[in-house]
Structure 1
Amino acid sequence: MYLGVDYYPEHWDHSLIDEDLTRMKEMGVNMIRIGEFAWHLMEKQEGNFDFSFFDHVIKKARNEGINVMFGTPTATFPAWLATKHPDILIEDINGNKKSFGGRRQYCFNSETYETYSLRIVEELVNHYKNEEAIVSWQVDNEFGHEGSDMCYCGQCLKAFQQFLEKKYGSIDELNKRWGTIFWGQNYNDFSEIPVPKVTVTVHNPAMMLDWARFRSASLAGFARKHIELVNKLKGGHQTVTTNLPGGFFDKWFDHNEFSRELDFVSYDNYPVWGGLKEPISPAHLSMTLDYVRGLKKENFWIVEELMGAQGHDIIGYLPRPNQAKAWAWHAFAHGCSNMLFFRWRGMNKGAEQYCLGILDANNRTTRKYKEVQQFFNEVKEYKTLFDSPVKSDVALVYDFDTIWSWRNQQQNASIDYTEEILRLYEPFHRQNTSIDVIKYDQDFSDYKVLLLPVAKVMDRELAGRLEEFAENGGTVVMSYRAGVKDRDNNLVFGNMIPGELSGLLGIEVEESESLQAGEAAPVVPAEGGSVSKAVSWRDLVKPLTARTLHRYDDRFYNEYSCVTENDFGSGRAYYIGAGVEGEIMHSLAKTIAENSGLKTIESNHGVEVITRTAEGKDYRVVVNHNGHEETFNSIELQPYECRIIEV
């Protein structure tokens, strides 16, 4: 088990290295991650490569028995490169070039940047391929984070046109599929197609979905070239990864397009960041970890685990004593097998002075150091447990076509895809059942329940796979706006919504309503009961073969269903046609869990219980996410305490 820190020895007087490594060893560190922002240090002038500083650092680490993950430094290029080749810089939607001074300002379609970035990687990996202390390479740093996944420059224009020509073959086919006859937008040649900069009103939705696919392909193509090069040059004892940032569904790329080619997936785990007054919810945090695990359906690494408060300019919530340690335990429970904390020491200069670490700029050993030290001493005793695979009976299924379709046509300002994921995820998480978060192209056969939030884009192939899953006894749960669009991001002529899903769900949607801020639709159980409300959206559902579980309770629409259940083969399909309140979702999830034979565990709110199995024995990892005392099965838990219990 690798336990360590992100270390930036180039930020400090070199005389501190020995002291740093000694204190790291005392804390329990056996790995450091270095180098990912040090291109200029390695190539101060074009073509003059010098790795002597890191030779010195690595030698000292090796002598202390500390292994190394080395980050290729292409996320922050040197000023001389931007000055000589400004074509490498991202251009925003208004045609303005991003300035040198931040990070990740490079265009993924810049041939110049590709050449220079691959050259520094080649020199670096060749230099260290036989270095026994370097056991892993991290490619770049947080691909596409902070808006760096979007560019509208001339290089992207040319590449987008080539992307479309390859996809459609002829301009007539593109015109047909995009429906460019509307507003007279027909093209005579691919060279006439623009990048979607600001226009009057909006761009064609089919174009915008292809633009999102192109952005994803651009990033993935760049990433793959770097992954392939490192794989070609690295030593046989070295592995390849890259660190993924959070906010997956707010990005313009699909991590699956390159992550599956890594030896293992790595993640930067920040339950709170600058500007947040409190951390994200335990369900949201669990969902992000389940997403990372779902990329390869394997355990993963965390190479940046938050310890101190964070913020580039606005500082976020201060993690309470033992809260960051609880997040670390929680990450291991959800599939992390190796962990590096960010960062060894907070920097006293530059843009991240308020991204605090284990040590602060005062260089004193305080509570945070002791907390990490205690965690390292405890977690290493459970290596076998946390190396074991995570088994889930529930899968939450996502599709980036749907995600990007929602982002381009939001339909209601309050609709957020991540929140709609959590609407389905949280009620099952609350029952402490394990959930995989996976892309729709993965195999469904090992699951009992599939959750598909707001699955707007649908095709016959995916609908057929869902039907097969239900026919074989599985349960499918879908929420509103399912099956509205085809793969070209267009409405389907002649089909009642939910289109391809109508047979599976046993319904038709006659009309829909976007519920604006402050609006709510009353919803009641079909057999009568207390009124709850739905927000953001409602589909007016007409059952065909489905049974009504909840209906609307207003004057004009009380004959329409809101939540339905349909038998299909040996299984069932549920449709949640509105943004219903949590009480409805929790009750429905409990019923589904009972009917599907899911293993659930009752616990108090904020107490999460994750079941893991190793060497034929079952264990429960119990995490108290609350800032107050709790109990689980008569066991007293202190604020933010974690217990591992053999069942």
Structure 2
Amino acid sequence: MRKILNGESITLGTCYYPEHWDKSLWREDLERMLSVGIKTVRIAEFAWSKVELTEGNYNFDFFDEFLDLTDEIGMQVIMGTPTATPPAWLSEKYPDVLNARKDGVLFRHGMRRHYNYNSENYRRLSSIIVEKFAEHYGKRKSVIGWQIDNEINCEIAEFYSESDDKAFNRFLQNKYKNLDALNEAWGTVFWNQTYTDWNEVHIPRTTIQGVVNPHQTLDYYRFVSDSACSWAKIQADIIRKYKKEDDFITTNGIFGHVDYQRMRDESLDFITYDSYPNFAYTLGGYDPSEDALRDRKWSRHLTETRSISPIFGIMEQQSGANGWNSGMGAPTPRPGQITLWTMQSIAHGADFVSYFRWRTATFGTEMYWHGILDYSGRDNRRLKEISDINTKVQKLSDVAGCQYVAKVAVLKDYDNVWDAEYDVWHKSVEEQSQKAIINASQRTHTPIDFVYLSGYLRRDDAGGHVNTERLLEKLSQYDLLIYPHMTIVDDRFLPALTKYVEKGGKLVIGCRSGYKEITGKCTMEKLPGKLKPLTGCDIPEYTYIAPDTGDVHIKWDDTLFTASVFADQLTVDNQSGSEADCGQNRTEEDSSCMNDKSEDVSNTVQNCKVLATYEDDYYRGYGALTVNKYGNGEVYYYGSAFNEESVEVFFDKLGVKNPYGEYLELPEELELAVRGDGDNQFAFILNYSKNEVKYTIKSNVTDMITGEMVSGLCTIPGYGVSVLKLGNNHIASAYA
């Protein structure tokens, strides 16, 4: 059985760097850790030179001595592979390992993560050191797991070395087979980019105004992810040959241009996340308007993490002030904030929390990134708080192994995530909607999940087919799915979405959906393109909401709310819609396009109608929201980007808002997160403000920390957390 994430307990750890400290401190440090409940240390992720100081000369005496001590006193160890910081001899002797800027200038030795994944020399030398570590420590008593590299794609998530250029060319040749197919996919006839020889095809390079072919860029991001995933798999495959059966393999994230679902399937037992909510208080970046949801933003990051592994670990949890000597300065956590942030992680699915770091480094770039102990190493307030946290988590063993409970999911896939990164039209609506959905879910106490559709591709299938039944099983856990902007439509996901709706599910799709093909090129089909059979609507015209327009209102029955960023002007493709289909105050000529009955969807559109209309500007009277009755379910197409107001309207009208409102009355200042199994649910109530907040429990429940039965008006202190055990009856009725 695994020593952590075993479904039996929630455990604490810390990051330790024996190479930073005199050996005389080791025993004292480890014993002090155990005394406050820390049972696991992560080591070695930056320590290549401690084993291979010069090429080919390996000496494990240093870590042998440390692990002899951990074996002796019973401290568990997560062994990091040291590939995030190649040694100086390697960077100097093999310059092909270095990453480069887009203009070709190399990143030199002296920071970290300055290498590239595609250098043959780096893959060779990394494989050797990983194998040496795994062979030497794979059967060690105190080693319980392995961390691959460190923060893959942190600092930089783009790679432009010569090795990457050559690898990208091979990636494209494997994908497209011939230049005709590549030229077609990239639309290279535009601006005379047509390629006639594979030697002409390169990674994106420095251009005038930095503008690069968008279809090339999308393929480039896919390539970067492919490189990172194959890099991780090389290490995982080596470690699996030597590790003990119950020892795990993980890595810590999460960062850009990585398909983590693929990495999980190919290489990891679970993902871990590095959680630093103190970034919300970084000096020079303080915005008072964000106070209510400041460090609650990390709940969004934890939701992303949960989409990779429902039960996950925290490899680095904030425990002190943060900052490099070059920037990112932030204050010391206030009393209670370390507890709050720890419980935030646990509330979202973490069964292991490891604090960064034990002792604060007295030298180097991170000498202001404080750990639990300050430079002197003396006992302090934060150490006492860690001890108190341990006392609390010992009472939460019933929570271990329980998954986060949500009946609303936001759908994502990496093609659309990456497309929104460089396409400003997509980006403007995506950023608005993603922020609004998470904020509205927080304020209304409506738990949500993220589901990456690309996580259900068959990894053993060269054709990349979707495991539709497995995806449908996942989607069927939710009463409501929201795909904010399915700009790129991947045909492979449509069968599962269609079956979900046919079986009675509700699917909400936002504006700018369906207008791009898998290459990122715009479709010539009537919009919303391949989504027409599901949505039943037509989009004869669309526009950004002009800056001089003022508020554009939308009316849904008696509810009035505002549109954001964009306005798809909707009509229906059948005659069953309301009078709003044809708009208001329009001539017959203006409205003629609005009654189009497209043959390609007439057999699938059962009962589409306009639910809400725009009330302002020249598109007043056009549909802003349609609903299509499809099988036993419903598909809603919303013509705008989401804001908090519109999300709350959808939650309310579609019956998913505040599912625990019958049992808990919570103000906006408090976050509600629920973990549960078939027998019980555990409600985490978290106060991110420095002031005490009152809330009401409407039935008798158990406080997991105190063991007492509680009900009625309760007070939670500033930065306080309550964990309530809700009975089986709450599970059955929360979403009734």
Would you say same fold, with TM above 0.5? yes
**Is the 2:420–2:430 Cα contact (8 Å) retained in structure 1?**
yes
Per-residue displacement from partner, 1:423-446 (whole Å, max 9, x unpaired)?
234333444344221211441232
Residue number among 599, 604, 607 corresponding to 2:670 in the alignment: 607
Contact 1:284 1:422 in 2 (8 A): no
Deviation at 1:331, TM superposition (A): 1.1
Q: Give 1:547 deviation, angstroms.
A: 4.0
Matched, 1:511 2:541: yes
Indicate conservation of the 8 Å contact 1:625/1:639, yes or no: yes
State the distance in 2 between where 1:228 and 1:614 align.
33
Q: Deviations over 1:520-542 (max 9, x none)?
A: 54113144665x54343332223
1:328-343 matches, within 5 Å, as 328-343=342-357
CA contact 1:396–1:425 (8 Å) conserved in 2: no
The corresponding residue for 1:320 is 334
Name 1:641's counterpart in structure 2.
720
Q: Where does residue 65 of structure 1 map in the other structure?
A: 74
- Following the alignment from structure 2 to structure 1, what is the Cα–Cα distance between the partners of residues 374 and 166? 47
SS at match of 1:36: coil
- In structure 2, what is the equivalent of residue 395 of structure 1? 409
Cα deviation, residue 418, structure 1: 4.8
Instruction: Give the structure 2 partner of residue 450 of structure 1.
Output: 481
Partners in 2 of 1:563 and 1:358 — Cα distance?
52
| Cα distance, 1:320–1:566 mapped onto 2, change above 3 Å | farther
3-state SS of 2:132 partner:
helix
2:317 is paired with a residue whose SS is strand
Output the CA distance in 1 between the equivalents of 2:225 and 2:559: 47
Secondary structure at 1:30 match in 2: strand
DSSP 3-state at the match of 1:144: coil
1:473 equivalent in structure 2: 504
Distance 1:295 1:524, change over 3 A: same
Correspondence for 1:295 = 308
The match for 2:563 among 534, 538, 541 is: 534
Distance 1:474 1:623 in 2: 31
Per-residue deviation, 1:162: 1.0
Residues 1:496 and 2:526 are matched in the alignment: yes
Instruction: Spell out, residue by residue over 1:150-200, the C-alpha distance to the aligned partner (whole angstroms, 9 max, x if none).
Output: 111221111111111111111112222222222222212222112111223
Single out whichever of 189-198 and 300-309 deviates more from structure 2.
189-198
The one-letter amino acid paired with 1:196 is P
Give the deviation of 1:19 after TM superposition. 2.0
The one-letter code of the counterpart of 1:610 is A
In structure 1, the residue corresponding to 2:139 is in which secondary structure?
A: coil
Cα pair 1:621 1:645 within 8 Å, conserved: yes
Partner amino acid for 1:422? K
Q: Which stretch shifts more, 116-125 or 190-199?
A: 190-199
Partners of 2:178 and 2:444 in 1: CA distance: 52
Aligned residue runs from structure 1 range 19-34, under 5 A = 19-34=28-43
The whole-number CA distance in structure 2 between the counterparts of 1:498 and 1:451 is 16
Residue 380 of structure 1: CA displacement? 2.0
Rounded Cα–Cα distance in structure 2 between residues aligned with 1:594 and 1:45: 61
* Corresponding residue for residue 590 of structure 1: 652
1:424–1:451 contact (8 Å) kept in structure 2: no
Identify the residue that residue 691 of structure 2 maps to in structure 1.
628
Bigger drift between 82-91 and 476-485 goes to: 476-485
1:385 to 391, 399, 413: 399
Counterpart-to-counterpart distance in 2, 1:386 and 1:300: 11
Deviates more, 1:605-614 or 1:620-629: 605-614
Q: Match for 2:652: what amino acid?
A: K
Over 3 Å counting, the alpha-carbon distance change for 1:537 and 1:198 in structure 2 is farther
- Checking the alignment, whether the CA contact within 8 Å between 2:348 and 2:675 is kept in structure 1 is no
Q: 1:645 to 1:598 in 2, by over 3 A?
A: closer
Establish whether residue 305 from structure 1 lines up as the match of residue 323 from structure 2. no
CA contact (8 A) 1:302 1:339 kept: yes
Residue by residue over 1:54-102, the C-alpha shift from the partner in whole angstroms, topping out at 9 and shown as x without a partner, is 1122222222221111111100111111111111000111110001111
Identify which of 179, 183, 197 aligns with 1:175. 183
Over 3 Å counting, the alpha-carbon distance change for 1:516 and 1:220 in structure 2 is farther
Query: Quick one: distance in 2 between partners of 1:124 and 1:219?
Result: 21
Amino acid of the residue matched to residue 607 of structure 1?
Answer: L
Letter in 1 for 2:258: F
Q: How many Å apart are 1:416 and its aligned residue?
A: 6.9
1:190-212: CA deviations, max 9, x gaps?
A: 22112111223632222111111
Q: Distance between the aligned counterparts of 1:100 and 1:641, measured in 2?
A: 44
Q: Distance in 2 between matches of 1:35 and 1:556?
A: 63
Whether the 8 Å CA contact 1:33–1:70 is kept in 2: the answer is yes
Give the SS at the match of 1:636: strand
What is the alpha-carbon distance in structure 1 between the residues aligned to residue 647 and residue 673 of structure 2? 21
Q: Find the aligned partners of 2:276 and 2:572 in 1 and give their Cα distance.
A: 43
> Greater CA deviation, 500-509 or 40-49?
500-509
Structure 1 residue 301, shift from structure 2 partner: 0.8
Query: How far is the alpha carbon of 1:22 from its aligned partner?
Result: 2.4
Q: Does structure 2 conserve the Cα–Cα contact (< 8 Å) formed by 1:267 and 1:301?
A: yes
Structure 1 segment 62-141 matched on structure 2, within 5 A:
62-141=71-150
Q: 2:362 maps to what in 1?
A: 348
Match of 2:232 among 213, 218, 223: 223
Determine if the alignment matches structure 1 residue 255 to structure 2 residue 260: yes
Q: Deviations over 1:264-307 (max 9, x none)?
A: 211111123255537864653222212212214x3011111111
Deviation of 1:119 after TM superposition, in Å, equals: 0.7
* Aligned mate of 1:45, from 54, 57, 79: 54
Is the CA contact (8 Å cut-off) linking 1:517 and 1:536 kept in structure 2? no
Q: 1:509 & 1:317 partners in 2: Cα distance?
A: 50
Percent of counterpart pairs with the same letter? 31
> Among residues 523, 526, 535, which one is paired with 2:553 in the alignment?
523
Distance 1:318 1:523, change over 3 A: farther
**In 2: Cα distance, 1:163 partner to 1:423 partner:** 37
CA distance in 1, matches of 2:109, 2:127: 20
Contact 2:562 2:645 in 1 (8 A): no
| Structure 2 residue identity aligned to 1:620 | A
Looking at structure 2, the residues matched to 437 and 10 of structure 1 have their Cα atoms a distance apart, in angstroms, of: 39
How far the C-alpha of 1:457 sits from its partner, in A, is: 0.4
Any unmatched runs of 5+ in structure 1?
none
Matching of residue 243 in structure 1 with residue 283 in structure 2: no
Q: Which residue number corresponds to residue 275 of structure 2?
A: 269
C-alpha change, 1:356 and 1:503, in structure 2 (3 Å) is same
Distance, in Å, in 2 between the alignment partners of 1:263 and 1:472 is: 32
Superposed displacement of residue 594, structure 1:
4.6
Kept in 2: contact 1:449–1:475 (CA 8 A): yes
Q: Is residue 2:682 matched to residue 1:619?
A: yes
Cα distance in structure 2, aligned partners of 1:549 and 1:638: 44
* Cα pair 2:554 2:563 within 8 Å, conserved: no
CA deviation after TM superposition for structure 1 residue 543, in Å: 3.9
Letter in 2 for 1:364: R
Distance 1:180 1:95, change over 3 A: same
Give the aligned length.
637
Deviates more, 1:51-60 or 1:161-170: 51-60
Cα distance in 2, alignment partners of residues 317 and 547 from structure 1: 54
Structure (1 or 2) with the larger CA radius of gyration: 2
What's 1:14 paired with? 23
Instruction: Say whether the 8 Å CA contact 2:430–2:641 is kept in structure 1.
Output: no
Aligned-partner residue type, residue 314 of structure 2? I
User: How far off its partner does 1:394 sit?
Assistant: 2.2
CA contact under 8 A between 2:432 and 2:641: conserved in structure 1?
Answer: no
Change beyond 3 A, Cα 1:316–1:51: same
- TM-score with structure 2 length normalisation? 0.82
Change in CA separation of 1:543 and 1:307 when aligned onto 2, cut-off 3 Å: farther
- The 1-side partners of 2:399 and 2:322 are apart by 31
